[in-house]
């Protein structure tokens, strides 16, 4: 399981704003990821807003907009399931590179909560639902807020 060895991150996010951008594809998985992200933002004391977009490919342009508007952190949540065509690779690479570029261009942490999986069960196992092994929505928020605090400390 990919979560083996993950650090326990507890963040005091009071005074920070995290923008959560989430795909609408795979509703059950996405609802779990969004719920986990919101719980983590609330637990950290950070202000948060959830914006939904059509699919994973659309995450980048909205993340860019929110980073430009002054968010302390942006979290992108989505699910891309391997299919029979190269579409999976194109979408995964585009989203990964696009979100990386948003973070680097704007100096805003972007939490990567985009699940790239072989099948829906793998996504469910990571969605933070009852019975899931991991909560990637919460982990993405915690990592983004932790990085935002690190950047603040460095300036």
- Residue 14, marked binder: no
Handedness of CA 12, 95, 68, 54 (dihedral sign): negative
3-state SS assignment for residue 76: strand
Q: Which of 9, 20, 23, 6 is nearest to 116 (CA)?
A: 23
**Is residue 136 within 8 Å of 128, Cβ to Cβ?**
yes
- Residue 147, marked binder: no
User: Is 87 noted as a catalytic residue in this protein?
Assistant: yes
- Residue 58, marked binder: yes
- Residue 21, marked binder: no
- Residue 79, marked binder: yes
Q: Which residues, at least 6 apart from 10, have a Cβ–Cβ distance to it below 8 Å?
A: 142
- Residue 112, marked binder: yes
Q: Which two tokens stand for residue 59?
A: 């995450």
Helix axes 87-106 and 59-68, enclosed angle (nearest 10): 10
Residue with token string 């092994």 = 133
- Residue 84, marked binder: yes
- Residue 29, marked binder: no
Q: Which of 149, 138, 150 is nearest to 20 (CA)?
A: 138
Find the catalytic residue in 26, 48, 65, 87.
87
- Residue 152, marked binder: no
Annotated binding site: 25, 56-58, 79-81, 84-85, 112, 126
Annotated binding site for 5-amino-6-(D-ribitylamino)uracil: 25, 56-58, 79-81, 112
State the catalytic residues: 87
Annotated binding site for (2S)-2-hydroxy-3-oxobutyl phosphate: 84-85, 126
């Amino acid at each position: 399981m990919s979560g083996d060895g993950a650090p326990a991150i507890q963040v005091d996010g009071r005074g920070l704003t995290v923008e959560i951008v989430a795909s609408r594809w795979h509703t059950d998985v996405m609802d779990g990821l969004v719920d986990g992200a919101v719980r983590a933002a609330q637990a950290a004391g950070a202000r948060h807003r959830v914006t939904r977009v059509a699919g994973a490919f659309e995450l980048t342009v909205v993340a860019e907009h929110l980073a430009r508007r002054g968010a302390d952190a942006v979290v992108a949540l989505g699910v891309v399931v391997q299919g029979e065509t190269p579409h999976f690779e194109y979408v995964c690479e585009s989203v990964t590179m696009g979100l990386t570029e948003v973070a680097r261009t704007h100096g805003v942490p972007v939490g990567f909560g985009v699940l790239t999986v072989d099948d829906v069960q793998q996504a469910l196992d990571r969605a933070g639902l009852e019975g899931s092994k991991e909560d990637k929505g919460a982990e993405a928020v915690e990592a983004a807020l932790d990085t935002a605090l690190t950047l603040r400390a460095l300036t």
